[in-house]
Chain A
Amino acid sequence: MRRALLLFMMAAGISLVLWSGWHNLSERHKAAQQAAMQVTLVPDNAAIASDASTPDSPLRGKPAPAFTLVDLQGKNVSLSDFKGHPLVVNFWGTYCAPCKLEMPWLEEFSHKYAAQGLEIVGVTYDSEVGKDTIAKDTQKLGVTYPILLSTPKAEKDYLSDSEVLPMSFYVDKTGKVIEVTAGLGPKDALEDMVKKTIASGSAQ
């Protein structure tokens, strides 16, 4: 009887090891397939399929991390300066083509939704290129909302170890991050996100 029990335990143990190996392999295949789907290149003339993704940011649903960053005029700008306003914090880089497609849209929304209190700030990820280059770029893009210079702390607080640009954080008027997007999405989707940010926290 004891021998039978021991044999049963051995068989169960070995089965469990085999099953966990198979399960693990299957999960890895799924993860690899998902990763491949996320980086599908859309060449010129191909069907439009790209979209901004919503990364698994730990900030979603949390208060936006406080920051005090320097703008292009050398003035300190803090998160607290936007208290009570819906705010989009948009990380961008001078080398980033999709960022530069998105920024004029943000500029447009900053005017369109100014009456609802919308504020937008751009945070330059590659601030080491210097204020002059950044100012030249933003001027060319017609951007008039505040452009701030990033710091390692701001990047750690907002981006963690991600280096994807553009990345935007939608902060409602209560100071809570209600959504995070990475990459360029359709203009309509961006506007919907802005409207959602304006509407969030209204009843409080």
Chain B
Amino acid sequence: MKRLLTFVSAFALLAAPAFAQLGNMDAAPKAKSYVVYAAEPQTVAAGKHGVLNLRFHILQGYHVNSHTPKSDFLIPTALTLQPANGITASAPEYPAGTQFAFSFAPNDKLDVYAADFTIKLPVVATAGAHTVEASLKYQACDHASCFPPKTLPVQIVFTAK
């Protein structure tokens, strides 16, 4: 019993710094993705025109260019679809952006998505379960800096009934 107690005490003393280290490993993760796809199963009527709502979440403090940024040098947010059997998709419909200006250039207005945004995807699909592989290209900035363009893989899962 005494040996057990000694062992437990020694372990507690030695292990404390190790636990502290483990906890610190994820203390300040580096953000490399700024947009997240909020995947949710959806249903449309089989063989009829339907619309899928693709919801995206932008990490707090960041914004991305809208699909129609006001300058030709800015990279627009754009969804690219891979062909999928039994589905005919029309051009994605993008939401309007909001105006944004960097504080040191208040006259240079940009058109951005600064919160969650939804892209509508019109589809006609045969009955059954479907998966469409897609990707969202975007370029994010915060209040003073910008980050390289990113491509977010998007898997659109829905059922046509």
Contact = CB atoms under 8 A, between A and B. Distances in A.
Contacts of A3: 2
A10 B5 contact: yes
Closest 5 CB pairs of A and B: A13-B12, A39-B61, A183-B144, A24-B23, A9-B9
B141 A98 contact: yes
Contacts of B149: 95
Contact of B143 (A13, A17, A41, A95): A41
B73 to A, nearest CB: 6
A186 B103 CA distance: 9
A41 B9 contact: no
B143 A14 contact: no
Interface of B: 2, 5-6, 8-13, 15-17, 19-20, 23-24, 27-28, 30, 32, 59-63, 71, 73-75, 98-106, 108-110, 114, 139, 141-149
Contacts of B101: 44
Contact of B2 (A2, A27, A44, A48): A2
Given A28-B27, A98-B141, A164-B145, 5 more contacts: A21-B23, A35-B28, A38-B61, A43-B114, A94-B73
B24 A125 contact: no
Contacts of A24: 19-20, 23-24
A165 B73 CA distance: 15
Could you say which of A7, A17, A94 has the most chain B C-beta atoms within 10 Å of its C-beta? A17
A7 B12 CA distance: 13
A100 interface: yes
Contacts of A94: 73
Contact of A36 (B60, B103, B148): B60
Nearest to A9: B9
Nearest to A17: B16
A199 interface: no
A12 interface: yes
A96 B75 CA distance: 9
A20 B16 contact: yes
Interface of A: 2-3, 6-7, 9-10, 12-14, 16-17, 19-21, 23-25, 27-28, 31, 35-36, 38-44, 46, 48-53, 93-101, 125-126, 137, 161, 163-166, 182-187
A23 B139 CA distance: 37
Contact of A31 (B28, B98, B141): B28
28 contacts: A2-B2, A6-B9, A9-B13, A10-B8, A12-B9, A12-B13, A21-B20, A31-B28, A39-B143, A40-B61, A40-B143, A41-B114, A42-B143, A44-B98, A48-B104, A50-B102, A93-B148, A98-B102, A98-B146, A101-B105, A163-B32, A163-B147, A166-B145, A183-B142, A183-B144, A183-B145, A184-B144, A186-B104
A16, A97, A165, A185: most-surrounded residue (chain B CB, <10 A): A97
Contact of B146 (A28, A96, A137, A186): A96
A6 B73 contact: no
Contacts of B23: 21, 24-25, 28
Nearest to A48: B103
Nearest to B15: A17
Nearest to B28: A31
A13 B2 contact: no
Contacts of B103: 42, 46, 48-50
A13 B6 contact: no
A20 B146 CA distance: 37
